[in-house]
Structure 1
């Protein structure tokens, strides 16, 4: 029963964390609208579309994760009541997969993309490219910040799952 509590707490923490994607999405969308309304220079106008695109992407990520994890909370109890051992095994498998994704995608690919964007900023001097790369870097940094805490949570949850599996 303790693992059900841990799973539920993990999912609730994830729901809370995904709200930050939504908050940052609103900030990016607001910045895009502000550049549209107030931007006078070519560089300021170049930020309009990249900011709006980044805001929509972050909103999509945030809402998708929010509803996925929100539904998971109720599914956990049902799955645990049906077969606790199978629940732990499936959660271990899911946690391992998620940790591997974090390592490969979030903490390997995203830093490489950030570095590539920084190089584009150095070598290409047109406003739209600079604005796009700066916005991309900002969006990816937001993803790294949020996913850094999410990775720590899933690793702690994974350790709890392994302890329960060893006890069974």
Structure 2
């Protein structure tokens, strides 16, 4: 009896959402494009400029605390760029997977 109920519920969920599957794919593609466009501006344009500014600050400021702060900023921003570039690649792979079918 429990197996029959599970089959009825499962088929109802499957056929109920089957028609909205194309809507899901379209909304996911829009979300992916929006996320990638926003991260492209922040991660691949602004963060490298901040790394360059921190590198310049390392050269210009002579105090050990300033240098430590700038080196820490460079390391943190570089790690952020690395993580976000991997996330961007993952989103690209997910988008390709959705468009294939």
Could you state the TM-score of these two structures normalised by the residue count of structure 1?
0.47
- Aligned counterpart in structure 2 of residue 81 of structure 1, from 8, 13, 17: 17
User: CA offset at residue 116 of structure 1?
Assistant: 0.4
Gaps of 5+ in 1: 1-79
Please give the root-mean-square deviation of Cα atoms over the aligned residues, in Å.
Answer: 1.8
- Aligned equivalent of 1:115: 52
Deviations 1:53-97 (A, max 9, x none): xxxxxxxxxxxxxxxxxxxxxxxxxxx937212211111011001
- Aligned equivalent of 1:99: 36
Gaps of 5+ in 2: 1-15
- Please identify runs of 4+ aligned residues in structure 1 that moved more than 3 A: none
Residue 163 (str. 1) matches residue 67 (str. 2): no
Question: Which whole-Å CA distance do the structure 2 matches of 1:111 and 1:94 have between them?
Answer: 25
Number of equivalent positions: 85
- Aligned counterpart in structure 2 of residue 143 of structure 1, from 62, 74, 80: 80
Could you state the TM-score of these two structures normalised by the residue count of structure 2?
0.74
SS of 2:62 mapped into structure 1: coil
Question: Which whole-Å CA distance do the structure 2 matches of 1:133 and 1:95 have between them?
Answer: 33
User: CA offset at residue 117 of structure 1?
Assistant: 0.4
User: CA offset at residue 131 of structure 1?
Assistant: 1.2
